[in-house]
Structure 1
Amino acid sequence: MANVNLSLQVLPVVPDCEIYYVVDQVIEMIKATGLKYVVGPFETSIEGELDELLEIVKKAQTICTELGAERVVSIVKIDYKEEGVTIDEKVSKYK
């Protein structure tokens, strides 16, 4: 299967002073996958196979709840085409 892009924004319902810590743990999990990713001010974009990326979304929910989130709102965007799509093809002209 070709690579796709998935952007994930997690909004854990935790006290304000804990939000960055919880989100940082999700980003560390993404980093540990070895996949290409880009952290932005609102979301993290990841490049990989769709099934693997959807597993990351599921793990992100678990991390948030294990760290005390009563609820997690996640916004997911997927850019998919059969021949694949890369982060570089979208943003390289801006670097």
Structure 2
Amino acid sequence: MHSFTVNASLQLVPIVQDRHPYEWVDEAIEIIKSSGIAHEVGPFATTLEGSYEEVIAVFHAVNEHLLSRGCAEWIVSFQLQARSGGPITGDEKTGKFR
């Protein structure tokens, strides 16, 4: 894949009864934060912005973390937008609304 900036959204839905699902979501957000990738936490999903490799690495890191910590079950909704001719940024898409 190219090295241009891509946009993605990651929504985690833990299916658990051992603790409040938000606790698992908070751990996932910490993984995202510690990656250093540009991100914005929203009420339903977290948007990510970086190279394709960086974004996919964060996606894998979140899932590996949940598995290693014993999360019983989860759903991840993941959307990725890439452009073959150059970068695509969140600000390009939503900046006019801020």
How far apart in 2 are the matches of 1:25 and 1:49?
A: 23
Q: What's the secondary structure of 1:41's corresponding residue?
A: coil
Instruction: Give the percent of matched residue pairs that are identical in Structure 1 and Structure 2.
Output: 32
* Divergent runs of 4+, >4 A: none
Matches within 5 A, 1:13-52: 13-15=15-17, 17-52=19-54
Structure-2-length-normalised TM-score? 0.86
Partner amino acid for 1:52?
E
TM-score by length of 1: 0.89
Q: CA deviation at 1:28?
A: 1.0
1:67 is matched with which residue: 66, 69, 74?
Answer: 69
11-20 vs 71-80, which moves further:
11-20
RMSD: 1.5
Give the unaligned 5+ runs of structure 1.
Answer: none
Q: Provide structure 2 residue ranges, at least 5 long, that are not aligned to the other structure.
A: none
Number of residue pairs aligned between Structure 1 and Structure 2: 95
Deviation at 1:18, TM superposition (A): 2.3
The equivalent residue for 2:78 is: 76
